[in-house]
Amino acid sequence: MNIVKRRNADFPSIFDDLFQTDWFGGIANSNTHVPAVNIKETTDEFTLELAAPGKAKEDFELSLDHDVLTISTEDKKEETTTEENYTRREFSFSAFKRSFKLPQTVNKEHINATYTNGILNVTLPKREEDKVKPKRLIEIS
């Protein structure tokens, strides 16, 4: 979905990448450091796989506000070393936030998440009435 209308198709707008979204409603990756997300759909559920190695499950915050699922993490490290003639202070900060507008077919009461080997897996089960039913034959009486 491209929000910016181009006047000249040969001259790309700098806003094109900024306003593009992926099919699930999250902001598309550009040149920022945002973990990649794989989205898979089966007949029973959607699965989000987010690659975030080096984290612990406690580092993640998942929240659901109406139809928007937000995954975020924040990491702060600070180290101070004082020796006889010098003091060294180093710090780093990293954070990301991904938000996804969920389809109406998701059963929001049964969303769950696991974090294993650097991959955050979020399972979004479909509502029973929205699951694809197998084809069946109807007898003629």
Give the model confidence (pLDDT) of 6-15 as tens digits: 444 444 444 4
Q: Which amino acid is at 111?
A: I
Are residues 95 and 74 in contact, defined by beta-carbon separation less than 8 angstroms? yes
Asked, for residue 136, whether it belongs to a domain, the answer is: no
pLDDT at 49: 95
Asked, for residue 100, whether it belongs to a domain, the answer is: yes
This prediction has a pTM of 0.63
Asked, for residue 61, whether it belongs to a domain, the answer is: yes
Asked, for residue 5, whether it belongs to a domain, the answer is: no
Asked, for residue 58, whether it belongs to a domain, the answer is: yes
Instruction: Give the C-alpha separation, 84 to 106, whole Å.
Output: 61
Residue among 66, 69, 31, 27 nearest 47 (CA)? 69
Identify the burial level of 60 via C-beta atoms within 10 angstroms of its C-beta, where 0-12 means exposed, 13-18 middle and 19 or more buried: middle
Instruction: Identify the CATH number of the domain in which residue 64 sits.
Output: 2.60.40.790
Measured at the CA of 69, the angle between CA 38 and CA 33, to 5 degrees, comes to 55
Give the model confidence (pLDDT) of 70-122 as tens digits: 999 887 788 888 888 888 878 777 788 999 999 999 999 999 999 999 999 99
Asked, for residue 28, whether it belongs to a domain, the answer is: no
pLDDT tier at 34, thresholds 50, 70, 90: confident
Domain, as residue range, for 66? 37-128
Asked, for residue 15, whether it belongs to a domain, the answer is: no
Instruction: Give the C-alpha separation, 120 to 60, whole Å.
Output: 9
Q: How far is Cα of residue 132 from the mean position of the Cα atoms in its chain?
A: 25
Are residues 100 and 113 in contact, defined by beta-carbon separation less than 8 angstroms? no
What rounded mean pLDDT belongs to the chain?
78
Q: Give how many domains the chain has, as a whole number.
A: 1
Asked, for residue 6, whether it belongs to a domain, the answer is: no
Place of tokens 């996804």: 100
